[in-house]
Structure 1
Amino acid sequence: MPISAKVLAYLGLIPFIGIPILIFSELLSAYSGYVYFVQYSAIILSFFGGIHWYDALQKKRTNHQLYVSMAPSIVAWGALIFLEGSMLLSVLSIAYIAILMYDKYNLELERQVVIEYTFLRIVLTTLVVLCHFLMVLI
């Protein structure tokens, strides 16, 4: 996995970590921070369906993977529309964990890439879910 991909992945944590810090330092209101946080979270969650869309098309598979590739976007969008507060943050967190588990068992990448990608995703997902929990406490 290219180092640039890893760097970009970790840079994607900035809003997840930065928004709670801005709220605690009173540079951002709790309400605005919450709105920005869940919007960013939903966008990033939607992004994870793309790898399955690409993988399914590359492998010319029309099995569940192609359909599941749309799930993160639909879950994120639906959660933003129908949920709020800790319920919204919880659903987004659960969706991150679910797509991580799906990635682990369904992506057909080279073995070394799968190992590196899975490790990266476990670290990132753990940090993202912890940030969601922190936002629930705020």
Structure 2
Amino acid sequence: MPYPAIALGLAGLIPFVFMPLAVALDWLALSQAARYFTQYSAVLLSFFGGIHWWDAINQFQVRHQLYVAMLPTIIGWLCLVFSGHPLVLGILSLSYLAILVYDKFTLAMPKALIMGYMTLRMALTTIVVLTHAWMIFLLT
């Protein structure tokens, strides 16, 4: 993977780690941190739909991919509508896992690139899911 992709991927984790940490250190109120966390999570989830939108338009190898590409945006939006409930963070977390699995079996990238991409995605998604669990723990 290109270094900028790795660096930007890691930088994208900052809000996920900062929000529950800010609550634990009493820098932010739990309700405020949970709202910011949910908003960031929903926006970032939508980004992964964009990857499939581009791949589907470029390759058009999997018929349903273009439709599935819209699901992260719709799920993210619904989570924003119903934000404030710990269940929303669980749905977002599971959505990250689902899109990761879908990536593995659907993206049409050269083998060398997909291996690096999936390694990066698995590492980043693991941290994202763990921070969602941390935030759920704080909310319950």
- The residue identity in structure 1 corresponding to 2:123 is V
Measure the CA separation in 1 of the matches of 2:127 and 2:80. 21
Aligned-pair identity in percent equals 44
Q: TM-score, normalised by structure 2?
A: 0.94
Partner SS state of residue 38, structure 1: helix
Give the corresponding residue for 1:63: 63
Residues 52 and 69, structure 1, Cα contact 8 Å, conserved in 2? yes
Give the corresponding residue for 1:6: 6
Measure the CA separation in 1 of the matches of 2:52 and 2:125. 17
- The residue identity in structure 2 corresponding to 1:122 is M
Give the corresponding residue for 2:117: 117
- The residue identity in structure 2 corresponding to 1:79 is C
Give CA deviations for 1:104-124 in whole Å, capped at 9, x if unaligned: 000000101110111111111
Structure 1's unaligned 5+ residue stretches are none
Count of aligned positions: 138
Q: 1:62 to 1:114 in 2, by over 3 A?
A: closer
Q: TM-score, normalised by structure 1?
A: 0.96
Give CA deviations for 1:55-106 in whole Å, capped at 9, x if unaligned: 1111145710011111000011112213542100100001000000000000
- The residue identity in structure 1 corresponding to 2:131 is C
Divergent runs of 4+, >3 A: none
The root-mean-square deviation of aligned C-alpha atoms, in Å, is: 1.2
Measure the CA separation in 2 of the matches of 1:127 and 1:18. 12
Q: 1:83 to 1:15 in 2, by over 3 A?
A: closer
Structure 2's unaligned 5+ residue stretches are none
Measure the CA separation in 2 of the matches of 1:43 and 1:105. 23
